[in-house]
Homo-oligomer: A and B are copies of this chain.
């Protein structure tokens, strides 16, 4: 039987996250690059600065549908001598002399000689002249300013301008920017590889038709795989490992050989079948073995030697599903984001003040992260976020994480936090609309 008291001090969350980011940063520097097609670049991180190979627009382009004019001509009636249509190479050859104008569509090259575009709403087409020519009345009040409705060459993106910096996360607008500068592929960081396994003799796969006596279904693995995938990682499902030391050690070795980050759940409490911590101590370095928080006290973080002398981050999360859920958000997400190339300060979720709707009980030993539904508060504006508990917070009750989008930090202490008081919210999902 293992020791009766944990050998590990309870580490404050702030220190734990600093440790995790330090170790993840050391690894992040070695992450390789790859090129992926544009459509697959969303959610990836740009590997190196991308410069525009040319100007956008590459020619003086009309902002409007209307008439390209010589601005000095001012309002009046002028003959239309050309049509400049978007995409038409012919438009490029058009040339205006003073006293002439050209019909032009949005995005078409402004003909040489013209220096402004008057929008169609400010013009009138006149009856044909004697020779069948079109004349147009420019009915702008006052003068036509040079440059009106003309995009200068390179005014949107200048040749050589950095359009995306190394470390930039690719979203839809970044895809658009890459497309606009002719990048059909994007240089991105390789996705972190995350291996997930569950430990415990009591676990069976969710697909098992029947439960034996003393068995429950393994909910953590599917959940943690989903969380790692949502974090933009490549995931590796290592299944359920029973509480046998040799099997566990073999599976851990396989995980460490093929992944950047290994996540286990279960096997980290004080029982004689809790084999994960002793194995981590044997195979690598345990940076912390307990956290001063709930739910998730037994959470353990270690680094192990992986393939090619590369360090691997190892998170041994508690088996209780809520503990696994909360500690993944608070401890694992920062590491995965760091490995994805995000700056350290962006690796943790945003925290902001929120009003709690009902009282919350304090724990005298550990601060607690209370799962909540955070919504925009229609009643107050200071702060404007309302946090409603998801109900009974027992660490085995995964229903307390259902639909949750945030965690309220409940400091350790005695008594309660009053309803209506302002507390720190860690926001990991989209804010909900105002509650009824």
In the assembled complex, A222 has its CB within 8 A of some CB on chain B:
yes
User: In the bound complex, how far is the Cα of B26 from the Cα of A140, in angstroms?
Assistant: 46
> Within 8 Å CB of A353, what residues of B?
381, 384
Segment with Cβ contacts to B, from A71-79, A280-288, A424-432: A424-432
Q: Within A1-17, which residues are at the interface with B (CB < 8 Å)?
A: 1, 4-5
* Partner among B155, B226, B398 whose Cβ is within 8 Å of the Cβ of A180: B398
User: In the bound complex, how far is the Cα of B348 from the Cα of A433, in angstroms?
Assistant: 8
Flag if B42 contacts A229 (CB, 8 Å).
yes
Which residue on B lies nearest to A57, using beta carbons? B216
- Closest chain-B Cβ to A102's Cβ sits at a distance in Å of 13
Flag if A376 contacts B351 (CB, 8 Å).
yes
* Partner among B87, B230, B429 whose Cβ is within 8 Å of the Cβ of A200: B87
User: In the bound complex, how far is the Cα of B172 from the Cα of A220, in angstroms?
Assistant: 10
Segment with Cβ contacts to B, from A304-312, A362-370, A400-408: A400-408
Given A157-B399, A384-B353, is A59 in contact with B213 using a C-beta cutoff of 8 Å?
yes
Protomer copies: 2
Sort chain A's interface into a size bin: 35 or more
> Within 8 Å CB of A261, what residues of B?
none
In the assembled complex, A168 has its CB within 8 A of some CB on chain B:
yes
In the assembled complex, A293 has its CB within 8 A of some CB on chain B:
no
Flag if B174 contacts A402 (CB, 8 Å).
yes
Chain B CB count within 10 A is highest, among A325, A396, A427, for A396
* Partner among B109, B180, B206, B433 whose Cβ is within 8 Å of the Cβ of A183: B206
- The contact string, 1 if C-beta is below 8 Å from chain B, for chain A 13-56, is 00000000000000000000000001100100000000000101
Flag if B173 contacts A230 (CB, 8 Å).
no
Identify the A interface with B (CB < 8 A).
1, 4-5, 38-39, 42, 54, 56-59, 61, 63-66, 85-89, 91-92, 103, 105-109, 119-121, 123-125, 151, 155-157, 163-164, 168-169, 171-184, 200-203, 205-208, 211-227, 229-230, 242-243, 269-274, 319, 321, 325, 345-346, 348-353, 376, 381-385, 394, 396-399, 401-404, 422, 427, 429-434
